[in-house]
């Protein structure tokens, strides 16, 4: 496998980054970097780390990092996650207020520990902290429950004080969304799998309305809705398809409609990308743009119940009128 | 019976395993014995929908809306209250 980290791999250009991924030769991982500057979204690092666990350590190459910002990869834990010795011997500064380096999470206990420890490091306000805890909690749990990924989830976060934004990425090399959703739903392709995964009340564990005793199929819908409201981007890449929620037009005022069908949101769907066996989820959350978390939850609740009513209505036999 | 949620889940309720265990080991036996259960969320700032679903959904399936005569939610933050109401609403809609 080959993958390239450029000088600007963020959500706006995530498809461009994905196209650098070459999944052939799955027993080797060759990571190359821009020669002058490396600047990437945490989801990029999470994906590379997850891929790195699929190959023997000695078959991972991350050499010749010449970019002036190459130490960033070290501080975000990429060399350690890939089992490579870092070429940087910099003095590590206190990470408080800036980032959470790549972390591997394999159990719910590790998840709980990660969530309780990350907030003091990010130095967020209580209301902002709850939103981030919520997103991390739901995304990691999705991996642990549905991905069947032996190496669990790789997570990284970065807080950007300049625009008051948290960038979050999580990746696994499990079965992917299509296989997961297919366990309970007959689907025709990756677009439909992503649509179902983002629809409230749909889970790969059952077709029953209301879900199972432990799964309701609401986590991704909540997170996509948070990104809709805060006018941010949200990406899911799994298999060879990539769904991207595009930023809401700033000229449109007022609280947005939260669609149960993600393809009714302003989005871009790309298919035919290099096949990634697993799932990457990336989200940016502009904390200054997010209304009170409680108001957001109230809007999500209304959208969720409406979606269930619509589905039930669609499944109910109605009077037929004939001549 | 009153359950101190903070002592079980900490300040943010997200661990579904704990939610499931709490339901199976504490709430269900208490309800079966005819007790009223008070879930005291003092000190818990937030909860994920997944957590509340794992704790409540089967109980709502079993008892329907009557559950809310038997299980009371105490000292909930606005965020916790909103998530509890969300789960209650969609589960009751699903019945």
Task: Let me know: does B70 contact B39? Beta carbons within 8 Å.
Answer: no
Question: Which pLDDT band, with edges at 50, 70 and 90, does B95 fall under?
Answer: confident
Sorted by sequence, the CB contacts under 8 Å of residue A255 that are 6+ apart come out as: A229, A291, A299
Query: Residue A67: how many CB atoms within 10 A of its CB?
Result: 19
How far is Cα A217 from Cα A235, in angstroms, rounded to an integer?
18
User: Is A297 in the B-facing interface, judged by CB distances under 8 Å?
Assistant: yes
**Chain centre to alpha carbon of residue A252:** 26
Q: Look at residue A141 and tell me if it is in a domain.
A: yes
How far is Cα A162 from Cα A29, in angstroms, rounded to an integer?
34
Phi and psi, residue A312, nearest 5°: -65, -40
- Cβ neighbours of A111 in B, within 8 Å: 14-15
Q: Is pLDDT above 90 for B33?
A: yes
pLDDT score, position B80: 93
Q: Look at residue A13 and tell me if it is in a domain.
A: no
Q: Look at residue A22 and tell me if it is in a domain.
A: no
Q: What is the mean pLDDT of chain B?
A: 94
Residue with tokens 């990104």: A227
Q: Extract the tokens encoding A127.
A: 């209301």
- Cβ neighbours of A218 in B, within 8 Å: 49-50, 53, 90
pLDDT score, position A95: 53
Q: How many domains does chain A have?
A: 1
pLDDT score, position A276: 97
Q: Mean pLDDT of residues grouped by 10 in chain A (323 residues)?
A: 95 96 96 93 98 95 86 92 85 65 96 90 80 92 93 95 90 96 90 93 77 79 90 95 91 85 95 97 83 80 84 71 74
Best residue in A116, A120, A133, A306 to probe B by mutation, most B CBs within 10 Å? A133
The verdict on a CB contact (< 8 Å) between A293 and B95 is no
- Cβ neighbours of B12 in A, within 8 Å: 115-116, 130, 133, 137
pLDDT score, position A97: 53
Closest CA to A285 of A133, A143, A121, A152: A133
Q: Three-state DSSP class for B4?
A: strand
- The shortest C-alpha distance from A291 to chain B (Å) reads 13
Strand intervals (E) in A81-144: 99-105
Q: Look at residue A51 and tell me if it is in a domain.
A: no
Q: What would the pLDDT profile of B73-83 be if each residue is shown by its tens digit?
A: 999 999 999 99
The verdict on a CB contact (< 8 Å) between B12 and A219 is no
Q: Look at residue A138 and tell me if it is in a domain.
A: yes
A contact residues 206-265, partner B, Cβ 8 Å cutoff: 208-216, 218-219, 222
Q: Look at residue A222 and tell me if it is in a domain.
A: yes
Q: Look at residue A269 and tell me if it is in a domain.
A: yes
What do you get for the CA distance between the two ends of chain A, in Å?
64
**A208-212, A307-311, B53-57, B88-92, range with the lowest pLDDT:** A208-212
Q: Three-state DSSP class for A103?
A: strand
Domain that holds residue A274: 92-315
pLDDT score, position A200: 86
H or E element, residue A271? strand A267-286
CATH of the domain at A311: 3.30.565.10
Assign residue A123 a region (left: φ > 0; alpha: ψ between -120 and 50; beta: otherwise).
left
pLDDT score, position A177: 95
ipTM greater than 0.90? no
Q: Look at residue A134 and tell me if it is in a domain.
A: yes
Inter-CA distances, B48 with A122, A134, A175, B57, Å: 20, 6, 24, 13
Q: A22: which DSSP letter? A: B
What do you get for the CA distance between the two ends of chain B, in Å?
27
CA atoms within 13 A on the CB side of A177: 32
CA atoms within 13 A on the CB side of A281: 25
- Nearest chain B residue to A300 by CA: give it: B86
Q: Where are the domains of chain B?
A: 2-94
How far is Cα B42 from Cα A178, in angstroms, rounded to an integer?
40
């Amino acid at each position: 496998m080959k993958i390239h980290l450029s000088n600007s791999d963020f959500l706006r250009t995530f498809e461009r980054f994905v196209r650098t991924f070459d999944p052939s030769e799955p027993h080797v991982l060759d990571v190359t970097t821009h020669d002058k500057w490396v600047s990437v979204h945490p989801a990029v690092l999470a994906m590379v780390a997850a891929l790195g666990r699929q190959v023997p350590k000695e078959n991972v190459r991350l050499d010749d990092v010449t970019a002036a910002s190459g130490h960033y990869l070290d501080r975000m834990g990429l060399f350690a996650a890939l089992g490579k010795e870092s070429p940087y011997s910099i003095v590590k500064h206190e990470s408080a207020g800036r980032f959470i380096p790549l972390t591997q999470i394999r159990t719910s206990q590790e998840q709980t520990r990660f969530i309780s420890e990350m907030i003091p490091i990010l130095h967020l306000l209580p209301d902002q902290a709850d939103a981030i805890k919520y997103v991390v909690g739901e995304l990691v749990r999705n991996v642990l429950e549905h991905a069947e990924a032996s190496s669990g989830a790789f997570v990284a976060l970065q807080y950007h004080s300049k625009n008051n934004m948290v960038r979050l990425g999580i990746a696994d090399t499990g079965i992917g969304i299509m296989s997961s959703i297919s366990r309970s739903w007959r689907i025709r392709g990756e677009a439909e799998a992503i649509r179902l995964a983002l629809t409230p009340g749909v889970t790969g564990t059952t077709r029953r309305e209301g879900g199972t005793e432990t799964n309701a199929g609401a986590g991704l819908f909540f997170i996509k809705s948070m990104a809709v409201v805060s006018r941010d981007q949200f990406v899911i890449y799994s298999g060879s398809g990539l769904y991207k929620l595009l930023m809401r037009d700033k000229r449109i005022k007022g609280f947005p409609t939260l669609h149960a069908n993600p393809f009714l949101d302003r989005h871009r769907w790309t298919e035919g990308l290099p096949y990634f066996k697993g799932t990457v989820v990336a989200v940016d959350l502009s904390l200054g743009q997010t209304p009170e978390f409680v108001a957001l939850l109230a809007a999500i609740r209304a959208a969720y119940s409406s979606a269930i009513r619509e589905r039930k209505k669609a499944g109910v036999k109605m009077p037929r009128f004939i001549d | 019976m009153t359950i101190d949620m903070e002592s079980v889940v900490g300040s943010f309720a997200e661990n579904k395993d704990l939610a499931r265990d709490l339901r199976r080991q504490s709430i269900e036996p208490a309800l079966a014995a005819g007790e009223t259960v008070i879930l005291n969320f003092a000190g818990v700032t937030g909860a994920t929908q997944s957590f509340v679903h794992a704790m409540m959904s089967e109980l709502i399936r079993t008892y329907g809306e009557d559950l809310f005569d038997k299980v009371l939610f105490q000292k909930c933050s606005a965020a916790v209250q909103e998530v509890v109401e969300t789960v209650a609403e969609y589960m009751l809609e699903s019945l």
